[in-house]
A and B are shown apart, each in its own frame.
Chain A
């Protein structure tokens, strides 16, 4: 007995699984939207849709009723019996400038009541009305596809935190920190790029030369000092002494020069990076006066 009951329940379950929900679709649009019917049929091939354009005034002013969910129960049931459908889907779309309002109502023909309602006020986008209708019907069926959602999101302005730019001021600063002028070149500022590179290259070269001269002066000073200490010849003593004194003075001059040039190079390097950041690539739009001239916009 128990087994036979389970079997009957199982068969009933399988039968109900194979039942395709059937819809009577009433589209009330204030403007013609082409290929709506085709899109619904193609998007939900497991459901059956019957479209009826003639039923127009039954659900007029639905919100004026105290209880809209049960306001048209008899008519819904009658329509369900007449068209042999499980549900009645009423889609109302009104356009208002660049926006449209979709008011979707789903009635169950067995109870005659309103079981689901969705209202959406959205800026128009490419095939937006069809996409929103498909999303609404998909919602009633528990089906949502990613591309419908992505299509809708394509019209929305980006979250400021999620906007990604190809070129950024920080990118320019880092580049200039690696090679002076690179950040400016990256920001398409060719002249300042060349100037920074030239200045930094000159300062670096001057620093290297000063350092090399300093090093040579130190080496020569030590050499002449040793020679001075090692000789007793008066002439040579005098020569080594004057050479060592000259090397000493040179070593001090080049030392100071190298320190100054190193400071200038370092400061310039950092300044060049800061300059790259300050004047780095940022989005802009040039607006030109429209009145009295042809309109023109330039973006970057």
Chain B
């Protein structure tokens, strides 16, 4: 009788442990810069950041962070069992940039993706460094890195440095 009771207790303890382990939820805090950004966890909107004291189950999760004027961010995270997980996301702004040239017959390419051959073009570029390549009659004549650190205009000149007014 005593051994049956012991076995029963053991079974209850094991079941409880397994149940708690399978349903374990981890405390989740999400902080973003800038604040007040929509945070989606596995497609479900958690609300505006900062997210404090949210719960998350261990396993693979996908975070998506979206705000107008900033590059959207998606982040896959394997959440391991721990008491708390704190995530910081830094969103990179998108700046409106004008690219102008008075040189004739040039074709510009940025980041190996976008090409244009008009004297003035408006672009929306993520803040940071971008690769600029310049072509003339099908040949590459220049390649350099430009830094987009604010909404601004770029004026491109061939060799001869000019002074602006």
- Name A's B-contacting residues (CB within 8 A): 63, 67-70, 113-120, 122, 139, 153, 156-161, 163, 188-189, 282-293, 295-296, 298, 300
Stretch at the interface among B1-9, B38-46, B74-82, B113-121: B74-82
Contact call B155/A282, Cβ cutoff below 8 A: no
Contact call A283/B33, Cβ cutoff below 8 A: no
Contact call B155/A284, Cβ cutoff below 8 A: yes
Q: How far is the CA of A120 from the CA of B86 in the complex (A)?
A: 9
Q: What B residues does A116 contact at CB under 8 A?
A: 82-84, 86
Could you name 15 residue pairs across A and B whose Cβ atoms are closer than 8 Å? Answer: A113-B82, A117-B85, A118-B87, A119-B77, A119-B87, A157-B93, A159-B69, A284-B152, A284-B153, A285-B155, A286-B162, A287-B155, A288-B157, A289-B157, A291-B142
- Interface magnitude class on chain B: 35 or more
| A11: min CB distance to chain B, Å | 29
Q: How far is the CA of A68 from the CA of B59 in the complex (A)?
A: 12
Which of B83, B160, B164 is most buried by chain A, counting CB atoms within 10 A of its CB?
Answer: B83
The verdict on A283 contacting B153 (CB below 8 Å), with A289-B159, A298-B161 known, is yes
Q: How far is the CA of A153 from the CA of B159 in the complex (A)?
A: 37
Specify which of B87, B92, B142 is in contact with A289 (CB 8 Å cutoff): B142
Q: What B residues does A285 contact at CB under 8 A?
A: 146, 152-155
Contact call B151/A163, Cβ cutoff below 8 A: yes
Contact call A298/B164, Cβ cutoff below 8 A: yes
Specify which of A69, A158, A295 is in contact with B81 (CB 8 Å cutoff): A69
The verdict on A67 contacting B151 (CB below 8 Å), with A153-B33, A156-B90, A287-B146 known, is no
| B14: min CB distance to chain A, Å | 16
| A107: min CB distance to chain B, Å | 10
| B32: min CB distance to chain A, Å | 11
Q: What A residues does B15 contact at CB under 8 A?
A: none
Q: How far is the CA of A283 from the CA of B95 in the complex (A)?
A: 12
| A67: min CB distance to chain B, Å | 6
Q: What B residues does A158 contact at CB under 8 A?
A: 93, 150
Specify which of B78, B88, B153 is in contact with A63 (CB 8 Å cutoff): B78
Q: Mark B123-149, 1 if CB is under 8 A from A, else 0.
A: 000011000101000000111101001
Q: What A residues does B127 contact at CB under 8 A?
A: 157
Specify which of B34, B141, B144 is in contact with A295 (CB 8 Å cutoff): B144
Using A286-B161, A288-B159 as known contacts, list a sample of 18 further A-B pairs with CB atoms less than 8 Å apart, ordered by residue number in A.
A113-B83, A114-B82, A114-B83, A115-B82, A115-B84, A118-B86, A119-B77, A119-B87, A122-B90, A156-B90, A157-B92, A157-B149, A282-B153, A287-B157, A289-B134, A289-B158, A290-B144, A296-B161
